[in-house]
């Protein structure tokens, strides 16, 4: 297989692991959240990345071994979950860029919201931690976008060969 297909396999697995971890953390966060609707919406979008990754892995197995047939609902599900995953990635990128541009105004508010019993970290360490976390999320979002583009391309190729 080509290096593009190898990248498709790698990104599907990595996105599955990262998004699965985020869904788990969001589920645990639901236990402590008073307002659940924002968390549920983001969990739905993150779950779409998990489902898209599962469907992409199934598509990869079908491409690698043509005797393994996809279910008839897989191509449509791959498209729907792919568009939801693209929406998730665009949200992460735009929000990440917004936070990176306005981090100086957000840091004092973040320090005020921390519990008084907990020692407050320095603004410099908090800034570097937040910047690193946002950059990792933006890279994850870029990986989701590339994976969606590759899955759409390989789905089109699979459909042409299995007419």
Backbone angles phi, psi at 16, to 5 degrees: -65, -45
Full-prediction pTM beyond 0.75?
yes
pLDDT tens-digit readout, 119-137: 877 788 888 989 999 999 9
The CA-atom distances, in angstroms, between 87 and each of 84, 94, 139 are: 5, 11, 15
30 Cβ contact list (under 8 Å, min separation 6): 36, 39, 40, 43
- All residues at 6 or more sequence positions from 32 whose CB lies less than 8 Å from its CB, including other chains: none
3-state secondary structure of 31: coil
| CA 116, chain centre distance (Å) | 33
Q: Which residues of the chain, if any, have pLDDT below 70?
A: 1
The total number of structural domains that make up the chain: 1
Closest CA to 155 of 46, 102, 51, 79: 79
Structural domain including 106 reads 3-161
**What confidence score (pLDDT) does residue 86 get?**
96
Instruction: List all residues 6 or more positions away from 8 whose beta carbon is below 8 Å from its beta carbon.
Output: 56, 60, 147, 150, 151, 154
pLDDT, one tens digit per residue, over 74-83 is 899 999 999 9
The predicted structure's pLDDT at residue 3: 87
Which residues are CB-neighbours of 41 under 8 A, at least 6 positions away? none
Rounded CA gap, 113 and 124, in Å?
17
């Amino acid at each position: 297989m080509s290096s593009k297909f190898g990248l498709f396999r790698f990104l599907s697995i990595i996105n599955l692991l990262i998004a699965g971890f985020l869904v788990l953390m969001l589920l645990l966060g639901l236990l402590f959240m008073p307002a659940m609707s924002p968390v549920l919406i983001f969990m739905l979008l993150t779950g779409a990345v998990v489902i898209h990754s599962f469907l992409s892995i199934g598509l990869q197995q079908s491409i690698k071994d043509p005797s393994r047939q996809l279910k008839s609902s897989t191509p449509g599900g791959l498209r729907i979950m792919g568009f939801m995953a693209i929406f998730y990635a665009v949200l992460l990128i735009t929000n990440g860029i917004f936070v990176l541009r306005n981090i100086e105004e957000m840091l004092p508010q973040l320090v005020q919201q921390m519990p008084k019993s907990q020692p407050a970290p320095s603004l410099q360490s908090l800034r570097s931690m937040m910047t690193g976390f946002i950059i990792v999320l933006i890279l994850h979002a870029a990986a989701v976008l590339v994976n969606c583009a590759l899955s759409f391309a390989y789905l089109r190729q699979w459909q042409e060969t299995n007419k």
